[in-house]
Copies of this chain bind each other. A is one copy, B any other.
Amino acid sequence: MKALVLLSGGIDSTTALASAIETYGRDNVVALSMSYGQKHINELKASERIASYYGIEHINADLSQIFSYSDCALLSRSEAEIPHESYASQLETSDGKPVSTYVPFRNGLFISVAASIALSKGCDVIFYGAHADDAAGSAYPDCSVEFNDAMSKAVYEGSGKQLRVCAPFVGKSKAEIVSIGLRLQVPYNLTVSCYEGGDTACGVCGTCRDRLAAFKANGVKDTIRYKENR
C-alpha cells in the first residue's frame, strides 16, 4: 500500500501526513502541495520543511492559472480583504453563501489533481485533512461530509477502482485533530495557518483564532510566533 497526502503546511494536513506515515511507513508516502496564487507563499515553504523533516518525496503542482478567474480573498491577485472574524461570525452575515475565503471548488480540484498524480505514482489511497469545523454551516461546502462521500466515490469509480480517498478527520474538530497530532509528535512548530501570510502569525484572522482555540482546548501552548492574541 502507498499513500499520497495533500499537504498545505497547516495543522490538519500535517496531522493527516503523520497518520499516513504511521500507517504506511515513510517510504510509501508522497506529499503533494499546490501553488494557486495564495497570498501566503509561506504555506509552500512550510510544506517543504515538513516533507524534509519526515524525509518523504514532495511534489508541488501549480494551479494558479485555473484560479486566475476567481475573486476569492485568499488569492494573491484579489483586492478583497481577509476578514478578521471567526468563520462562525462570517457566516452570520453571509446569507447562506460560502465565505469570501472560499476558493471555488478548491478541494474538488485538489483531490482530482491528487488522484491523477497518485495513479501515476502507483498509490492506492489519497489522504486529506478536511474536518468538521471547516464544514460547519456552509463556510466551506467542499469540506462537508456530503462532498467528501461523493468525491471519494468519484475517485474510486473514475480510477477503475484502483484508488480510494481517506479523510480521517472528516467528523472531527480541530481540537481533536491536534489531540491526535500531539500523540503522533507532529512538529507543529513547522506548520503555518495564518491567512495574512506574514512571517509572524497575526493571531486575529479566522484561522489563527481557530488554531489558538484548538491548542487551548488541549491545554497545550502553540509554539509558533504570534503578533497578538496569545
Q: Taking beta carbons and an 8 Å cutoff, which residues of A are in contact with B?
A: 59, 61-62, 65-67, 69-71, 97-98, 102-109, 111-113, 115-117, 119-121, 138, 141-142, 144, 146-147, 150-151, 153-161, 163
Contacts and interface: CB of A to CB of B under 8 A. Distances in A.
Number of copies of this chain in the oligomer? 2
A153 B59 CA distance: 29
Contact of A105 (B61, B98, B115, B153): B115
Contact of A67 (B108, B111, B116, B153): B116
B157 A144 contact: yes
A69 B117 contact: yes
B141 A147 contact: no
Contacts of A159: 104-105, 141-142
Nearest to A60: B65
A230 to B, nearest CB: 33
Nearest to A107: B158
In order of increasing CB-CB distance, the 10 nearest A-B pairs are A104-B119, A69-B120, A150-B153, A142-B158, A141-B160, A112-B112, A150-B154, A105-B115, A151-B154, A147-B157
- Dominant SS at the A interface? helix
Contacts of A105: 112, 115-116, 119, 155, 158-159, 163
A149 to B, nearest CB: 8
A51 B62 CA distance: 27
Contacts of A62: 65
Contacts of A111: 112
Contacts of A112: 105, 108-109, 111-113
B115 A108 contact: yes
Contact of A116 (B66, B116, B158): B66
Contacts of A120: 67, 69-71, 104
